[in-house]
Amino acid sequence: MTDRIAELAAGYDRSGAFPAESLRLAHEAGLLTATIGEGYGGPGAGVEETARILHRLGQGDPSVALIAAMTLTNHARQAAQPHWPEELYARVVKESFARPVLVNHARVEPELGSPARGGLPATRARRTADGWAVSGTKRFVTGAEGLDWFLVWATTDEPEPRVGTFLVPGGSPGIGIAGNWDQLGLRASGSHDVTFDEVEIPYAHVIGLGPHGRAAEQDNRAGAALHLPLAALYLGVARAAQAFFHTFAHTRVPANLGHPVARTERFRRTAGEIEVLLAGAEQLVFDGAAKLDGGDSSYTPEQALGARVLADRHGVRAVELAVRLLGNPGLARGNPLERHFRDIQCAPVHAPQADISLLAIGTTALDGSTPLDAPKALDL
């Protein structure tokens, strides 16, 4: 299944079309419903299994993997702490077993940017006689063209405004998809801008509705169940790049050399560095995921954030090494390595970005230490 998705990836990358066929294949393999909780009749996949699914999908097509990741994460959150209206979620689950049903949050806005850095949504939910009318513009909504549900973060227009996530069915009147996603990497992820113009939903189709605060209700330390699988996704991209690098090394026989470049010290040394980078990052990610699944209280949010920072850095560096050694062939559009190089650049872009993660890690490290814990400064 992942081999077939990999075969389709180049075409979707060139066209930027929504990868419907690849997502159908993933659904038929049970990957889009893997995290539906056992209480809802699903397999109840944990963080480690989710990370391994996205790692394999990332090797095939990271655009497909990212769209899948958003749906998997939403089901996992519901399984861990139910928050959807029960009747509505039961309907979503029933449909999900029958066909690919895609769910994603719509949070980023043109003026605000990512809520990971704080702020409140300009998108408004107006109270109507029967429910809510949602209006506003969201950016970078992954899988926008194929979403069955948009989870729209918005502020109510009430005298005392509240903030919550409004459950908007895809295809509702008033939804406009800009079709403006034209990025260097993950070209088939369809992360377009989406406008909501008085989109009406029932009153009960809202979750997490709470008081209007001064900052976004987003805890960047609490998302380990997303950080680690997302890191695994991009390590999958790096593994795909490594596979092409190995194939090239074994099949490239320069006339002046007389044997494959894989036998040269230069290629072997680089192959070793790439393997060390990726194996080390995978160990951090998958071991951390296993600890989360096992309820290991010693595994901290800062460790998960740190694992993702290092995994992103290692993945990007590994692909850069492969491209640099191959030279022009590595950047040729006819080789998959060029696509992997573009796709891996998206790894550090996802919120929380490295500077936010390092700030959280550093703050905890400094606040948790005392002068007695630290080595004595040299008296110079």
Residues 304-354: pLDDT tens digits? Answer: 999 999 999 999 999 999 999 999 999 999 899 999 999 999 999 998 899
Is-cis flag, bond preceding 43, omega within 30?
no
d(CA 78, CA 59): 27
pLDDT value of residue 217: 45
What are the Cα distances from residue 44, in Å, to 77, 188, 233, 268? 11, 28, 19, 42
Q: In the structure, what pLDDT confidence band is assigned to residue 118 with cuts at 50, 70 and 90?
A: low
pLDDT of residue 221: 57
pLDDT of residue 70: 97
Residue 220's pLDDT band (cuts 50, 70, 90): low
The whole-chain average pLDDT of the chain stands at 93
Q: What is the pLDDT of residue 378?
A: 46
Q: List alpha helices for the chain, DSSP H.
A: 2-15, 20-28, 47-60, 62-80, 86-98, 224-251, 265-293, 301-326, 336-344, 354-367
Radius of gyration of the chain (CA): 22
Residue 128 corresponds to which tokens in the numbers above? 């109507």
Angle between helices 354-367 and 301-326 (to 10 degrees): 140
SS3 124: strand
Could you tell me the pLDDT band of residue 231, with boundaries at 50, 70 and 90? very high
Residue 194 has pLDDT above 70, yes or no: yes
List the Cα angle 245/250/255 in 5-degree steps: 115
CA gap 226, 231 in Å, rounded = 9
pLDDT per position as a tens digit, 195-217: 999 999 999 999 999 886 544 44
State how far the Cα of 2 lies from the Cα of 196, in Å rounded to an integer. 35
- Whether residue 295 has pLDDT greater than 80: yes
Write the CA distances from 309 to 151, 184, 209, 218, 314, integer angstroms. Answer: 27, 21, 32, 19, 9
Tokens (6 digits) for 148: 């069955």
Res 213: pLDDT: 53
Whether the full predicted model's pTM is greater than 0.85, yes or no, is yes
Task: Give residue-wise pLDDT tens across range 68-114.
Answer: 999 999 999 999 999 999 999 999 999 999 999 999 999 999 988 66
Residue 88 identity: L
pLDDT at 369: 72
Residue 154: band (very low, low, confident or very high) from pLDDT cuts 50, 70, 90 = very high
